[in-house]
Amino acid sequence: MTFEYTYKNIKIIVTVGDITQQKVDAIVNPANSLLIMGGGVAGAIKRAGGEEIEREARQHAPVSVGKAVATTAGKLKAKYVIHSPTMQKPAMVIGEENVKLAMKGALDCAERIKIQSLAFPGLGTGVGGFSLEKAANIMISVLKEHIDRGTKLKEIIFVGFKNDLATAFKNAIDKILT
């Protein structure tokens, strides 16, 4: 399942798959402030890309929710990993504001490092325990505000590990961007 949209000349793709396999300038790690890459998306990134990603990330810790840092991407197809904390400590249940701040932090970091393509997983939808639909709506709303202000980004990919998250992203885009 893959869907493509265009919003203000920015290509937005929704797909089902493994974020660590995306051929983009950067992928987003919904991190914790300590930048410990244990489970969930962070663990998958570390397993696929190598321990050096976590070692480099930890040099920047702690990173508050709403801020983000970029590291190299090790063996991944991406050039960078943008670590955007959704929670202070590993495995915390989070709320709406954390998703909003993490999305803004990741997009701001993408602009700072001057990339053109970026892939997102669900922010806060794993160990954070946040609803897929609510997270998708918040993420797409923040993206719309970001694009409306002007961006150097050319392509954004929303990657659902399973169909349910991809469907939530698609529904949010249909509601907010079209």
Q: Please report, for residues 20, 42, 116, 176, the alpha-carbon distance to residue 30 in angstroms, rounded to integers and kept in the order given.
A: 13, 7, 19, 23
pLDDT band at 90 (very low <50, low <70, confident <90, very high): confident
pLDDT band at 80 (very low <50, low <70, confident <90, very high): very high
**Whether pLDDT at 165 is above 90:** yes
**Whether pLDDT at 92 is above 80:** no
Domain boundaries, the chain: 2-176
More confident position, 105 or 88: 105
Class of the domain covering 2-176: alpha beta
What is the pLDDT, as a whole number, of residue 94? 86
More confident position, 95 or 134: 134
How large is the average pLDDT for residues 33-55? 95
More confident position, 148 or 90: 148
Share of the chain above pLDDT 90, in %: 90
Q: How far apart are CA 84 and CA 106, in angstroms?
A: 6
pLDDT band at 93 (very low <50, low <70, confident <90, very high): confident
Mean pLDDT of the chain: 96
First to last CA, the chain: 19
**Whether pLDDT at 91 is above 80:** no
Alpha-helical segments (H) within the chain: 40-49, 51-58, 96-112, 132-149, 163-176
pLDDT in tens, 107-127: 999 999 999 999 999 999 988
